[in-house]
Amino acid sequence: MILHIDMDAFYASVEQRDRPELVGRPVIVGGTPEGRGVVAAASYEARKFGVHSAMPAVTAKRLCPQGIFLRPRMEDYAEISDQIRAIFHCYTPLVEPLSLDEAFLDVTGSQSLFGSAVRIGRAIKHEIHQRLRLVASVGVAPNKFLAKIASDLQKPDGFVVVEPGKEQPFLDPLSVGRLWGVGKVTGGIFERLDIQRIEQLRQLPLDLLQQQFGHSGQHLWELARGIDDRPVVPEQQAKSISHETTFAQDVTDPETLQAWLMELSEQVGCRLRKHGLQGRTVQLKVRYADFHTVTRAQTLSQATDVTQEIWRIASRMLAERLPARRLRIRLLGVGVSGLDQPKAVQLSLFPDPQHEQQTRLDEVSDQIREKFGGGSLQRALGMLHDVRARATKSDPDREQ
């Protein structure tokens, strides 16, 4: 059995926990309206006004004039995320983090020690609340796809169980928009076919789905039946370190994307250095508004953990190696693979002065953030998304 555990409004909840005067008030973490930043997270009090992540802060201010805008404290959130994962590992070694605030857990082999998957899920949820004073929503199901849907159904503070053999009664009444890969374009096709619920989709023949959606037809056919064979992959067994972000609004501005690339590259570089790893291959992941996903990779002559080098390669691939099509990006990701310990990497006989300089810069930056918090230091390019994110356009039909 699989658990999907998702922290509710994580960044905003941490701020409310650490500042009791913010409890019950609309907290918006991210850029400021004056700087035209973007929303990284919004408390449920703010979401009632229509505020959501990746929304321009100026729009959030218009929707929620009484909102309290706070800059992110990424290092603090990362530290709390580590504490949450430590709780997970008390129950199973099979933990696959998706981001700082969510993860899949395979507890199949843990039930002889801790009881049923439902009991384990409730124990983890209770422990997070007791030890960290934070709230998680939990989905319990036979596979990752169903667990992910289950954790989202009763947010906040949700706990939903899909028992084996009950997959179809669980899925059938749900909107087709709950399926992975169903966005505005796919949803429009379903609307023309008068397909609203998963049960209706399940009744369509596979050849019709393949005719309408190409290779994605098989994917949709399987999901409508609750089929998902992907295993939970523990982080220590991962062959790469990556970070990605899904925008609540499709991003169309190239400079905004470059700024987000820097932010993602910094997160990847920081994790590499924290674990004492370097990698030879930089990967770029781009998902368009119609869910078409493109990945690109470039292998370096020498392994690296340097933020600037990771960003430079990812930036070049974004600018030069994407297909010629309209730029409407739903998801952006950066990763590094071909991991190795630095001591096992052969040193160059002729060190690159710029590489050495950037390495020292990362070391100092990491020390400053560790001492003063994640918001204490930020690269200039990384701040561009505060300025340029206003170019994004709203897409109310997008899957959240």
Catalytic residue numbers, as ranges: 102
CB 25 within 8 A of CB 42: no
Tally of CB atoms within 10 A around 83: 12
Q: Specify burial of residue 216 (Cβ count, 10 A radius: 0-12, 13-18, 19+).
A: middle
CB 81 within 8 A of CB 5: no
Helices (H) and strands (E) in the chain, counts: 16, 12
In terms of residues, how long is the chain? 400
* Cα 324 from chain centre: 26
How is residue 208 written in tokens? 């019709």
Q: Specify burial of residue 281 (Cβ count, 10 A radius: 0-12, 13-18, 19+).
A: middle
3-state SS, residue 377: coil
CB 234 within 8 A of CB 93: yes
- Report the C-alpha gap between 379 and 263 in whole angstroms: 9
**Region class of 84: left (phi > 0), else alpha (psi between -120 and 50), else beta:** alpha
